[in-house]
Amino acid sequence: MDYILNNQALLSPAVIPSEVTDKYLKLASGEQLKVLLYFVRNIYSGIEAKDISDYLKIAESEVLDALNFWEQTGILIKTGVAKTTEEKKEKVAVKALSVKPTREEIASLSQTDPMVSFLLREAELKFRRALRGSELQTLVWLYSDYGMDISLILMLVEYAISENRANIGFIESTALNWIETGVDSIASAEKYIEEQSRKKTSWSIVQRLFGLEQRNPTAKELEFCYRWIDEWDFKSDMLKQAYDKCVDAKGKVSFSYINKILEAWHKNGISSPASLNKDTKPSKKKVGGSFSAYDKSLVDKLLNSDD
């Protein structure tokens, strides 16, 4: 290739983690890469989502989607949890700053608390190997500092393995999420896992219908898919209609825009292509205090409103 990097361009470098190019260059969209580049270049400037939105000329909701994507990959870390006014979230944030036990402290705990020995032995059986130092520290930390039930920790390890995400980062972040949201029993953990499974199924359906690349969805994308399919009960034909309408209007896939379309249809009782193709003028006859026909002006208002 007849190109070299201009040394003058390195006078004010912006550091990009190699993991971005090694793992996510093909998976990330153009907007996601642009948002990350702007973030890295202005990392010390106290930037806000609106600043990125204004500079890149994209919707603020898409900026937030992109930042959420990079958070899910682990490239970005969300801060400011300790600022919440909810007592439980404050407790989690403070605990997260605590120092994890050393190997010596773990060895001492194993001798004085049989539950620690049981936890580590059972975890090794589930991993089918000896635990690494970070795994030892985090599992004991969840038990000793947070008082997380042994059975719940082991269930979380099983869940991580079943999801092919048996890494301590996923286990720790999921554990803190469980503590923060009140998942404190086997029953509530099973409910959480079942809901996550339904979200993944919903994502698979949307991914196939929209022709999206194989990648892990962001948390917001999972929520959108779950809402459309499980809560609003939209079928494939209506999802495809919303997708086509979005691409025609925006020239690309925008989950936020598609959500506005489906939200408008859901509020107006439009659940099939047949009802979508009916006369768009509101009926004079009301049913239950609202127009029974498709109110086009309301849909247009929702589509053109800000997030």
The confidence score (pLDDT) of residue 26 equals 77
The confidence score (pLDDT) of residue 8 equals 67
Predicted confidence band of residue 282 (pLDDT cuts 50, 70, 90): very low
| 128 Ramachandran zone, left/alpha/beta (phi>0; psi -120 to 50) | left
Look at 50-59, 121-130, 269-278 and tell me which has the smallest mean pLDDT: 269-278
pTM score of the predicted model: 0.53
Look at 170-179, 196-205, 262-271, 282-291 and tell me which has the smallest mean pLDDT: 282-291
Calculate what percentage of the chain has a pLDDT beyond 90. Answer: 36
> How many CB atoms are closer than 10 A to CB 40?
15
The CATH number of domain 216-304 is 1.20.1070:
no
More confident of the two residues 159 and 62: 159
**Token pair of 278 as six digits:** 């009916």
Q: Are residues 105 and 139 in contact, defined by beta-carbon separation less than 8 angstroms?
A: no
**1.10.510.10, 3.90.380.10, 1.10.10.630, 3.40.980.10: which CATH number matches 103-184?**
1.10.10.630
Q: Are residues 39 and 52 in contact, defined by beta-carbon separation less than 8 angstroms?
A: yes
The 3-state DSSP composition of the chain as helix, strand, coil percent (nearest 5) reads 65, 0, 35
Look at 13-17, 88-92, 182-186 and tell me which has the smallest mean pLDDT: 88-92
The confidence score (pLDDT) of residue 84 equals 37
> Burial letters for 112-127: b for 16+ Cβ neighbours within 10 Å, e otherwise?
eeeebeebbebbeeee
Is 90 exceeded by the pLDDT of residue 203?
Answer: yes
More confident of the two residues 25 and 122: 122
Is 80 exceeded by the pLDDT of residue 187?
Answer: yes
Boundaries of every domain in the chain = 11-73, 103-184, 216-304
DSSP string of 172-239?
Answer: HHHHHHHHHHT--SHHHHHHHHHHHHHHHHHHHHHHHHHT--S-PPPHHHHHHHHIIIIIS---HHHH
The confidence score (pLDDT) of residue 51 equals 85
Q: Are residues 160 and 174 in contact, defined by beta-carbon separation less than 8 angstroms?
A: yes
Would the CA dihedral through 286, 288, 294, 297 be positive or negative? positive
The confidence score (pLDDT) of residue 72 equals 78
Domain 11-73, second-level architecture: Orthogonal Bundle (1.10)
47 burial type by CB count under 10 A (0-12 exposed, 13-18 middle, 19+ buried): middle
The domains spanning 11-73 and 103-184 adopt the same CATH topology: yes
Query: What's the average model confidence in pLDDT over 137-154?
Result: 92
How does DSSP classify residue 80? -
